[in-house]
Amino acid sequence: AKIIDKKFMFNKSTIETAGEIVKLVKQYGANLVTIDVIGIGAGVYDNTVALLKGNTDIKIIATNSATKPETEDHAKKYYNLRAAMWWEAGLKFANNEIILDDEPELERELKAVKYEIRNGKILIEDKAEVKKRINRSPVHVNFPGAVRKHHQWMFWICYTTYTRTVE
């Protein structure tokens, strides 16, 4: 997998972000979209659903990264869904399943995120902690979100500031 599309979106509304998601879905023929609905993501989700209303070929899933992981195996290993998504994506980077072609800022921000073991499970630190350490809000990583075309996932790191698609 490699990054196939990237788009910076600073200070955009939830409807503008949803519009960009819809463009990506249509451009790449995706049939599944997941959006983290914590905080501003709730508005992005609502607007994406509204924009894709009536399109039965595309499934849109509201994801709450603070909830328990979805599988029993992941529930034993990860503290919450956020940890599972970050860790599993990290494994894809580590195994060269996702290739970073000259993406130094993305790589720097991905490496800045730390984890701990809490109650025997992997927990990814809060974004606020990353912000403190790198002295700014991470622009390139605001995980998670994903779209899937058939059986291939395209992950995007997305909220109102940035959208990046990986196939």
Q: What is the pLDDT of residue 165?
A: 47
pTM recorded for the entire structure:
0.75
pLDDT tens-place string over residues 69-85: 888 999 999 999 889 88
Which one of 66-70, 102-106, 141-145, 150-154 scores highest in mean pLDDT?
Answer: 66-70
Question: Quick check: 126 pLDDT over 50?
Answer: yes
Q: Using 50, 70 and 90 to split pLDDT, how confident is the model at 87?
A: confident
Cβ neighbours of residue 52 under 8 Å, at least 6 residues apart? 22, 25, 33, 58, 60
Ramachandran sector of residue 139 (left: φ over 0; alpha: ψ -120 to 50; beta: rest): alpha
